[in-house]
Structure 1
Amino acid sequence: MDRKERVDDELASLRAALRGWQVGMWTALPGVIESFDDDAQTCVVQPAIKIPIRANDGTVTTAALPPVVDCPVQFPSGGNCTLTFPVAQGDECLIVFASRSVDAWWQSGGVQEQAALRMHDLSDGFALLGFRSRPRALASVSGSSTQLRSDDGSTFFDLNPSTQKVKIVAPGGFEVIAPTQVLAASTSLTVNSPQSGFSGAVIVQGLFSFLGGMIGSAVSGAAAVITGTINFIGSLTANGKRIDDTHTHNGVQPGPGNSGNVN
């Protein structure tokens, strides 16, 4: 055996040794959520890649890895604000494996000692949501705006930087619960509804338009306060009596006085 053959054999042996070492080192794998604990915010994930197994007779088969348990789920967050999602069985994700044991950190938070001296182990997975295989790719993803949307695209918040508009589509309804609400429209506010209803005081300053009926009530005080010009097109009724321009007072004599109530 010449020197070149010896070098080739040594390199082949080194490569084989490195491959054998890498077999036990885990970095990241796609996975499928099996269950989610919304109290602990951890999940059980089935790795979606099978691994080869060599039998004693040299034959090679493949087998699924065991589920990875107690994987902390990543929700985008910061500054005491968090965007959460209803994690469901069958959701796809990416499992990222920490290079050292995370048990003590997960249990207590802060900076902790290593609970075990393992490295790149299947026991230290984190689930990153949102990665999708081709069959589960979203349809009709917007190429010009940012959306928070349902998978089927029927319900969404749409923020478009080019038009500087925010659009909300909610076929099931849109509900806002707040002690006070302010809509500041510099030009106009239009409500397009078969019937607009409110209970409580409504203050309008500026131009307010609605298409359809409007019903309001207040427990006390004025039901509506409007600052600005009021332009009615059609009849105006108060307590069952019309008081628009078709309403006349009979028997009024000229003079500086005011007319009384009309029954």
Structure 2
Amino acid sequence: MSDYSYHNATVESAVDAQTEKAIKDIHTSLPAKVIDFNSTLQTVTLAAQVKQILIDGKTVQIPPLMDVPVNFPRGGGFAVTFPLQAGDEGIAIFSERCIDGWHTSGKATEPLDYRFCDLSDAMFIPGICSRPNTIKGFFTDGLSLQTLDGSTFIRITNGKILIKGEIEQNGGFVSSADVVASGISLTNHVHGGVSSGGSKTSGPQ
């Protein structure tokens, strides 16, 4: 403790000092930036964005967090994926116990090490960001799946889906209602220049 003195130590102050020291070795979560992303293993190398304070008051950068599994929303046979780039922000959370056995096998295992809330057992949730990196022009009227600059998006509001950007479709298209392209109805358009024989019609109107 800051007011702890070797010359007037008591049992209580000694216990308090040891407790404070132990608490400082417990890690719960830290903001972090991506250094490198492995898309095959879906792991990242991270740089913690809050420095560590030493006993003498000096601050040091926490060593890079290696082989950190990334959270991508998934379940029921579906997943939402996106590439991560160096500099992307998020939060690193630290498991209560060693995750090495589970991470390697995908099964429930005994902890392979006795460490608790250790920097070695980080998991990464991308997206939580600092104020300078907030999403510009935040869409508040519904759900938006978009590029950060807003140049391309899929936006869902009550009863409507709006898409901005080129669409490449691989598969059929079924519509229970009319389709209108450049102001021309697929169901109700007409063709001019119709005559018998092998002549072709003019374009739709």
TM-score bracket relative to the smaller structure: 0.7 to 0.9
Deviation readout 1:107-153 (Å, 9 max, x if unpaired): 10111111111110000000101111100000111111101110001
Which is richer in strand? 1
For structure 1, the residue ranges without an aligned partner over 5 or more in a row are 1-8, 194-207, 211-227, 244-263
1:190 maps to 180
* 1:169 aligned partner, one-letter code: K
1:134 maps to 131
Is the counterpart of residue 96 in structure 1 residue 89 in structure 2?
no
For structure 2, the residue ranges without an aligned partner over 5 or more in a row are 1-9
Is the counterpart of residue 174 in structure 1 residue 171 in structure 2?
no
Q: Secondary structure at the match of 2:35?
A: strand
Is the counterpart of residue 24 in structure 1 residue 25 in structure 2?
yes
Aligned-partner Cα distance in 2 for 1:26–1:239: 80
Task: Quote how far apart the aligned CAs of 1:69 are.
Answer: 0.4
Aligned-partner Cα distance in 2 for 1:30–1:242: 64
Q: Which has the larger radius of gyration?
A: 1
Find runs of 4+ consecutive structure 1 residues off by over 6 angstroms. Answer: none
Higher relative contact order (CA 8 A, sep 6+): 2
* 1:77 aligned partner, one-letter code: R
TM-score, with structure 1 as normaliser: 0.67
Matched residues, number: 192
Q: Secondary structure at the match of 1:20?
A: helix
RMSD: 2.3
Distance 1:87 1:242, change over 3 A: closer
Checking the alignment, whether the CA contact within 8 Å between 2:73 and 2:81 is kept in structure 1 is yes
Choose the corresponding residue for 1:143, options 140, 144, 163.
140
Task: Quote how far apart the aligned CAs of 1:95 are.
Answer: 0.3
Aligned-partner Cα distance in 1 for 2:169–2:33: 35
2:47 maps to 46
How much identity, in percent, do the aligned residues show?
Answer: 28
